[in-house]
Structure 1
Amino acid sequence: MKYFWGLPALILLGACSGGGGNGGDGGGEQAEDPVVIDYPVAFVRRSLNFEDDGTLVADDIYDPAAFNPGAELILKDRATPSAPEQVLTGELFDGGYDVKDLNVSPDGQQLLFALRAPEIEGADEDEQPNWNIWLYDRENNSLRRVIESDLIAEAGDDIAPAFLPDGRIVFSSTRQRRSRALLLDDNKPQFSSLTEELRNEAFVLHVMDADGSNIEQISYNQSHDLNPTVLNDGRILFNRWDNMGGVDNLSLYTIEPDGTDLAFHYGYHSQQTGTGGTDAAFSRPRELPDGRLLVTLRAPEGLSYGGDLVAIDSVNYTEAYSLPEGEGELVGQASISVQEVITDGTLSPHGLFAAAWPFYDGTSRLLVAWSECRVLDPETELPQPCTDEWLAIPDILPADPLYGLWIYDYEAGTQLPIVVVEEGEMVSEGVTLEPRTEPTYLPPPVPGVDVDSDLVRDGQAILDIRSVYDFDGEAVVDIAALADPAQTTAAERPARFLRVIKAAGIPDDDVLDFDRSAFGRNRANGMREILGYTPIQPDGSVRVKVPADIPLAFSVVDADGRQLVSRHRSWMQLRAGEVRKCQGCHTPDSEVPHGRPDKAPEPAWSGAPTSGAPFPNTEPALVADMGETMAQVLARIAGEATPERDIAYADLWTDAAVRAKDPATLVAYADLETPQPVSITCLDNWGPTCRSVIHYPSHIQPLWEKVREVTDAAGTVLEDRTCTQCHSNRDANGMPRVPAAQLDLSATPSPTNADWLTSYVELVFDNPTQELVDGALQEVLVQERDDDGNLVFETDADGNLILDANGDPIPVMVVVEIDRLVGNFSSSSRLFVPFATGGAHEGYLDPAELRLIAEWIDIGAQYYNDPFAAPVN
């Protein structure tokens, strides 16, 4: 049975082909628009999928590999209800297959889409078909899989294709071709890394020729890069999932077709722009003819499958609101639906939109998949339209969605039905096969002409930061004074080194079934490796070579290697030969457009004031050009810097005729008497493939157990400063005791989690205070107090006091917790307080040991930082 109800606020044009139902408040007849109907439309019609309990299968943006069989790709040669339908995929398979992600070539002659073949009964999950890219050619009415070879096609899931101006195809894929190859440099097997929350394999952007050859990975993220679309200026716009260390954002980014110039574009701080400030994703982005971006603003997951039609003015804005924290006026985006659409999961009287595609005929018309609002009659359980009467019924339940295909004019307020579906079906998306202006072609850089050929050959790139003291265009210190050795010594400069960090890829269980406790307290921190350090120059500038084609993050640290500000909260990538110039830093909650060059404020540091002269009071030989930073001067004269294993400083800038040079300093792993977190091959020869990989049991626990005896000249032990000498729950005779400072650093399995050492749990979790009672350790309990400070007693369900045998109220007792010592980053961690100057443990640990602890904390306080070093299940 087919249902169709009109929208009173819209003018409904034409009749429903094969429709019927209640007819609605139709607006009468209107002549067909030849501009619209002369172009074919393609759409996906599918069956709704249900769980075993009869509920709809949820739609989850973060699960792009989800397989929902029962779809078919259909072509209508005219955008009218009466035009015949041709099922393009009908002869491909026996059994239920899935189709999605339609896209059209600029000339309107070719249709790209993703298709997954039916499940193979009895086959294991890794033997099931993958998502593949297919192409339909109107001119010869042919259909083909773009990658012809079964072996190559099944090397990953390929979705969301789009045409590039040169005829190639950009798409999102789990094949991670370049990332897999680089794993060999780390002596690891090739695999596709999981997303940072370990939900599934990460989809990232790739390009290939139209015949499926020359596949190249162009984006490098630890979570998904989805829905690429080509803007008129030739850049690729896409959804990037930033899912790093507590961040969980699905924002809009841009990238060039060769993978260079990755940049934030819109919405990083606008994740709650749904109804009532609820979470909402900018789904299926596409550029409108007027330059705005069209998205379906919808909840990231749910049962409604749709949301609102929203236009984003990303030319002028990078966030939704005029003030941070969602305050002020909504300026960056606006709903273009004729009436309000509710996106918080409750009933939306105007209905919902699953997808939208613009017409390119100069009008405000869209081809939309739209479902009206429907509820279930409580008596008959039949769907009914969302009239005021039905909506007034308490706890009225929504009916299943019924998305059809419509032409929706958001300015004229008209809506024309093209395809009406049966109950249990939906149109999930549709496109018009009409010509449009072809985007600008952006040629790839030519090695030796546009980029350094040596960098390309070596797989290297350059990061160039103007000043780490520039926060969103504001200097947080007097940069000129810091840059002048006559005014500031090295010891007085806060930022001393840049730490370069990379993500460790995480394989699925088929590659390595390791215990997930290996991540430690918080999986969101992932696993991290340190590529090395480079000095920050006196003016806060940095210029350093970094490996290309890997996700990178950076930390600004002090002279001891302790992080000064919170970690970089999104992954950066550079392609071979690329020089990425950054203005400076920003705070995590800042909404100043960091990383988007066309919207960034003016830099706070102008660099050298003149050409042909050194910076004031610096070495005369270091002659600067106007506007250069100190790091740029060094790179031009002495060559590009590379990350180093150790934290080493040498004064290259102070003019000895002005004052004595600052003393050199070195905090080296070689000073460790416990195992170093580097491979044997990298101990003496630190190169681009070297990493510091810190494992708590292998590198941190030995610090607590290292013998630290203070002896006199005769060798007599005067004091034993071994950490576990005092920080353990047993004394030298094996008798129970309360550990010093309530901190047990023993290497015994933790009673809380036997997969972790006791010391790890004591450091990174809140722990109960203990006391010795009759020779046994017990937790200290106190009576709980409410928010007003009143003592709390046990009560029954009615709130009445429960009395004991003596008729007295029973107190509610709670454990006295000790806050964990390891904070979010090392400079704020209470763990370092005793070792500071004047602290109770001053001098107990060496600088190299404190550096190692700081590194471990800064990168996330993981238990292991290499899944292949962790215990297997």
Structure 2
Amino acid sequence: MKVASFFRFVLSVFIVVNASARATSAPPTARAPAVKGFRAYAGRWQVVEGVLHAGAGAGPKLISQQSGFATGEVGVEVLLPDASEGNAGFIVKVSEAGIGADRFRGYEVSLNARRQMLRLARHRQNYEPIEDVPCRVPVGKWFPLVVRMTDSTLTVVVDGKTVQTYEDRDHPLRSGAVGFRPWQREAHFRNFWTKTDGRTAKIPFESGRPHLSPEKTLSTADLSPIAVVVRHALTAPPAVGQDLWASQPRAPGCAIRVIDPRQPDRPATTVFSDPDGCIYDMNVSYDARTLFFSFRDKDEQYWHIWRINTDGSGLKQLTDGPSYDVSPCQLPCGDIVFVSTRRFGFTLCQPGPASNLHRMGSDGGNVHCVSMNTLSDFTPQVLPDGRVLFTRWEYIDRDLTYRQSLWTQHPDGTAYQLFFGNTTRDVGTFWQARPLPGHSDRVVATFAPHHGFPHGAIGLIDRSRGPEGVKNESFTYITREFSTIGDQRHEWAYRDAFPLDDHTILCSYGDPRLRKYRIYLLDFAGNKRVLYEDPEMGCYFPLPLRPTPVPPVISTRVAAQTSPPKSTSDQRTGTFLLLDVYRGLEPTIQRGQVKSLRVMEQVRKTEELRSRAYDQSPVMGYGTYYAKRSWGTVPIEKDGSAHFRAPALREIYFQALDAEGQELQRMTSGVQIMPNEQVGCVGCHESRHSSPPATGHTPLAALRPPSELREPAWGNDGIVDFP
């Protein structure tokens, strides 16, 4: 492929991948706005009998879809129920809004009941305080708030009294929309109106979402039959995701049953049973005719994947051998993606094998690895847009514990990207994530700790608000028993969520008083009802037996590699095109400072060290768990671009170096590239929502063939060692 055409190819690939990460399918159950005629940017907004209730938060915004308001008046009645800290009120002349306290252009006109003051501020994607003006702010009663606007002035009237007139001579904001914004306190609004050209318009607050009572959301009238796993509980693993090799059944016996919630008195139908074996987990095909499950007999050490028809026919074992194979998920093409330890290597701080995503045919043939992680991947599911969503546990020179976030990739291992939660500290592990029907950016998941039982809360993640976020905005706890999870171990809690629609979820819940897991129907308000229980064993993995739309098949861009590289001599490569290393690094790192990029690898742990100190003695070093390999350096062009080959199917990351070869910045997450894959990057540490800039010229590095890595001078196969 010619270099110029390769640049166009990489650019188009980046745009397609980035767009798929942000876009949702055209769902039959599209998310309705919280308030008609308004757009919410985070926060909790609810309309009851014409009153807008705004929950406390870090500056969420509700903005009218009527834009271009330049001169005139706006008014609303406000109720601040108490004198708590924080403020709330109007934002006017709003444009360029986004999620984040200061992500907009406009003026803030807010009231603080505790301090009895009016706050005026300007926002230009930042916070520019204008002045705080003492004024009487009523508490516990309705009062009017009015803002009169000209091209450059704001006049604020609180409870009928003019408090302040401000003229913006330096940076006047000319026009925009009107909205509401609470800051760290709740507030209520009613009787909203605007006045332009002498005409007053009343704008009612109307809910954009129907109110559903628990009687409606928890009704079983429209539920399909449900397949469930019945077995005894497993023992505690050392960490979530490690139960596939560490946990053991507390007693023998298991079954797959089908229940009909519409007929609770009808006995469950047994599809599969074994008095001595155990089932680890289970999944369902798109046509709801086949169940895939991981099972082991009483004399077996390893879980293997099986399939069976929902009527009990067609039982077949798909995998075998000395590896743990779990979490099967059907791909749109009919193949199966699953988790396996069959790629060599061990986890770092636990004495068990590492696990990776693998792919196989529907008959169990053509098994090959499609991920590079040196720790653990687990619970893959397919999003409506065809990407594979899964949890990845990784450590790259960062803090410990809160490192189990959600990632996506194409079924062939290409287009690897963060989905959510790489810097979140409220939840130890986001796992068992499944998309809401028709949504590729909204998923429910188990919010679990890192250590101990893989149980916790059920929560909602909204990726449309960005790949990172704050509690109650980007991720929300649905279940009521837990306000946070952190790294707290819970033997009896929630797990196995399966969203039925935008309102209800199937799940398994272990009531600590009963010390047994049962199947529940849960709504998004946290209400729940029992659907099924076994008198002796626990019930897990509820799967609705109803057909679901098959996602699009994402074409394979690389040839399958049956065995990952075990040495550097048989290494295959992919190609990176970096458009501008400084995008995301400036202004901390000045343009011109970065001269080269070093490609580093975290080397897989090849020895089981169960008897050693902390399972890892001799410890690699104070700053890292890993042995490291330098694959060498590549040059950075004057415009910040780079074009180079890198080793495929290894856990690699990059370091930006100065003229003396000293590190300026490093990545703290892994990069995955498949053999012959071509990847385009906008910058380093830039927003993952960024698109390639319209510079008008082709990056210099794209005008030449890719650089080959310049091996380090010390040899030793690149291993960093200090003998």
TM-score normalised by the chain length of structure 1: 0.52
**Structure 2: distance between partners of 1:133 and 1:156:** 11
Structure with bigger helix share is 1
- Alpha-carbon deviations, 1:148-181, whole Å to 9, x = none? xxxxx114211111000010000011112xxxxx
Q: Which of 208, 212, 229 matches 2:381?
A: 229
| AA matched with 2:286 | P
- Please tell me whether the aligned partners of residues 230 and 255 of structure 2 are also in contact (alpha carbons under 8 angstroms): yes
- Alpha-carbon deviations, 1:548-585, whole Å to 9, x = none? 222211111223222122x3212211112211111222
Q: 1:229 to 1:693 in 2, by over 3 A?
A: same
- Please tell me whether the aligned partners of residues 335 and 359 of structure 2 are also in contact (alpha carbons under 8 angstroms): yes
Query: Which residue is 1:405 aligned to?
Result: 519
**Structure 2: distance between partners of 1:102 and 1:132:** 12
Query: Which residue is 2:229 aligned to?
Result: 44
Query: Which residue is 1:530 aligned to?
Result: 630
- Alpha-carbon deviations, 1:531-552, whole Å to 9, x = none? 1111111222111011222221
Q: 1:446 to 1:563 in 2, by over 3 A?
A: closer
Q: Which of 282, 288, 307 matches 1:135?
A: 307
Kindly state the Cα deviation for residue 358 of structure 1 after the two structures are TM-superposed.
2.0
- Please tell me whether the aligned partners of residues 443 and 461 of structure 2 are also in contact (alpha carbons under 8 angstroms): yes
| AA matched with 1:313 | D
**Structure 1: distance between partners of 2:510 and 2:612:** 44
TM-score normalised by the chain length of structure 2: 0.62
**Structure 2: distance between partners of 1:196 and 1:583:** 32
Q: Which of 543, 552, 555 matches 1:440?
A: 552
- Please tell me whether the aligned partners of residues 284 and 291 of structure 2 are also in contact (alpha carbons under 8 angstroms): yes
Query: Which residue is 1:465 aligned to?
Result: 578
1:544 maps to 2:544: no
Q: Which of 492, 495, 509 matches 1:354?
A: 495
- Please tell me whether the aligned partners of residues 237 and 243 of structure 2 are also in contact (alpha carbons under 8 angstroms): no
| AA matched with 1:265 | F
Kindly state the Cα deviation for residue 82 of structure 1 after the two structures are TM-superposed.
2.5
Query: Which residue is 1:769 aligned to?
Result: none
Alignment of 1:178-217 (within 5 A): 192-217=344-369
- Please tell me whether the aligned partners of residues 258 and 270 of structure 2 are also in contact (alpha carbons under 8 angstroms): no
**Structure 2: distance between partners of 1:355 and 1:507:** 32
Alignment of 1:575-586 (within 5 A): 575-586=674-685
1:333 maps to 2:475: yes
Identity over aligned residues, as a percent?
24
Q: Residue 601 of structure 2: SS of its match in structure 1?
A: strand
Kindly state the Cα deviation for residue 372 of structure 1 after the two structures are TM-superposed.
3.4
Q: 1:301 to 1:198 in 2, by over 3 A?
A: closer
Query: Which residue is 1:310 aligned to?
Result: 459
**Structure 2: distance between partners of 1:512 and 1:31:** 51
- Please tell me whether the aligned partners of residues 502 and 551 of structure 1 are also in contact (alpha carbons under 8 angstroms): yes
**Structure 1: distance between partners of 2:388 and 2:637:** 35
1:85 maps to 2:268: yes
**Structure 2: distance between partners of 1:214 and 1:517:** 37
**Structure 1: distance between partners of 2:219 and 2:555:** 42
Q: 1:511 to 1:520 in 2, by over 3 A?
A: closer
How many residues are paired up? 491
Q: Which of 387, 407, 412 matches 1:258?
A: 412
Kindly state the Cα deviation for residue 512 of structure 1 after the two structures are TM-superposed.
13
Query: Which residue is 2:600 aligned to?
Result: 501
- Please tell me whether the aligned partners of residues 298 and 308 of structure 1 are also in contact (alpha carbons under 8 angstroms): yes
1:287 maps to 2:287: no
**Structure 1: distance between partners of 2:259 and 2:350:** 44
- Alpha-carbon deviations, 1:365-391, whole Å to 9, x = none? 2222123353xxxxxxxxxxxxxxxxx
- Alpha-carbon deviations, 1:661-700, whole Å to 9, x = none? xxxxxxxx3xxxxxx434xxxxxxxxxxxx3224322xxx
| AA matched with 2:231 | R
- Please tell me whether the aligned partners of residues 197 and 523 of structure 1 are also in contact (alpha carbons under 8 angstroms): no
Q: 1:512 to 1:167 in 2, by over 3 A?
A: farther
Kindly state the Cα deviation for residue 529 of structure 1 after the two structures are TM-superposed.
1.3
Query: Which residue is 2:508 aligned to?
Result: 369
Q: 1:298 to 1:536 in 2, by over 3 A?
A: same
Q: 1:30 to 1:158 in 2, by over 3 A?
A: closer
Q: Which structure 2 segments of 5+ residues have no match?
A: 1-213, 560-569
- Please tell me whether the aligned partners of residues 338 and 410 of structure 1 are also in contact (alpha carbons under 8 angstroms): no
Q: 1:556 to 1:289 in 2, by over 3 A?
A: same
Which structure is larger by alpha-carbon Rg, 1 or 2?
A: 1
Kindly state the Cα deviation for residue 357 of structure 1 after the two structures are TM-superposed.
1.3
Kindly state the Cα deviation for residue 136 of structure 1 after the two structures are TM-superposed.
1.4
| AA matched with 2:415 | D
Q: Residue 301 of structure 1: SS of its match in structure 2?
A: coil
Query: Which residue is 1:553 aligned to?
Result: 653
Kindly state the Cα deviation for residue 141 of structure 1 after the two structures are TM-superposed.
2.2
- Please tell me whether the aligned partners of residues 111 and 136 of structure 1 are also in contact (alpha carbons under 8 angstroms): yes
- Alpha-carbon deviations, 1:172-210, whole Å to 9, x = none? 11112xxxxxxxxxxxxxxx1112335321111111001
- Alpha-carbon deviations, 1:807-858, whole Å to 9, x = none? xxxxxxxxxxxxxxxxxxxxxxxxxxxxxxxxxxxxxxxxxxxxxxxxxxxx
**Structure 2: distance between partners of 1:516 and 1:64:** 20
**Structure 1: distance between partners of 2:637 and 2:335:** 43
- Please tell me whether the aligned partners of residues 102 and 160 of structure 1 are also in contact (alpha carbons under 8 angstroms): yes
Query: Which residue is 1:319 aligned to?
Result: 468
Q: Residue 464 of structure 2: SS of its match in structure 1?
A: coil
Q: 1:71 to 1:693 in 2, by over 3 A?
A: same
Alignment of 1:468-867 (within 5 A): 468-471=581-584, 474=586, 479=591, 493-509=592-608, 517-522=617-622, 524-565=624-665, 567-586=666-685, 593=687, 596=688, 599-600=689-690, 602=691, 607=695, 609=696, 626=697, 628-633=698-703, 635=704, 639-645=705-711, 669=713, 676-678=714-716, 691-697=717-723
**Structure 2: distance between partners of 1:536 and 1:235:** 32
**Structure 2: distance between partners of 1:81 and 1:345:** 37
**Structure 1: distance between partners of 2:486 and 2:720:** 43
Q: Residue 430 of structure 1: SS of its match in structure 2?
A: strand
**Structure 2: distance between partners of 1:172 and 1:47:** 22
- Please tell me whether the aligned partners of residues 584 and 684 of structure 2 are also in contact (alpha carbons under 8 angstroms): yes
| AA matched with 1:282 | F
RCO higher in structure (CA 8 A, sep ≥6):
2
**Structure 2: distance between partners of 1:255 and 1:46:** 32
Kindly state the Cα deviation for residue 139 of structure 1 after the two structures are TM-superposed.
5.1
Query: Which residue is 1:487 aligned to?
Result: none
Alignment of 1:95-134 (within 5 A): 95=276, 97-118=277-298, 120=299, 129-134=301-306
Q: Residue 381 of structure 2: SS of its match in structure 1?
A: strand
**Structure 1: distance between partners of 2:516 and 2:350:** 33
1:269 maps to 2:391: no
**What is the RMSD computed on CA atoms of the aligned residues?**
3.4
Structure with bigger strand share is 2
- Please tell me whether the aligned partners of residues 45 and 72 of structure 1 are also in contact (alpha carbons under 8 angstroms): yes
Q: Residue 315 of structure 1: SS of its match in structure 2?
A: helix
**Structure 2: distance between partners of 1:205 and 1:545:** 24
1:145 maps to 2:278: no
Query: Which residue is 2:86 aligned to?
Result: none
Q: Residue 664 of structure 2: SS of its match in structure 1?
A: coil
Query: Which residue is 2:222 aligned to?
Result: 35
Q: 1:534 to 1:64 in 2, by over 3 A?
A: same
| AA matched with 1:297 | F
Q: Residue 35 of structure 1: SS of its match in structure 2?
A: coil
- Alpha-carbon deviations, 1:419-469, whole Å to 9, x = none? 22446x42233211211111111111278xxxxxxxxx9832111112222
Q: Which of 67, 70, 73 matches 2:255?
A: 73
Kindly state the Cα deviation for residue 114 of structure 1 after the two structures are TM-superposed.
1.3
**Structure 2: distance between partners of 1:532 and 1:159:** 37
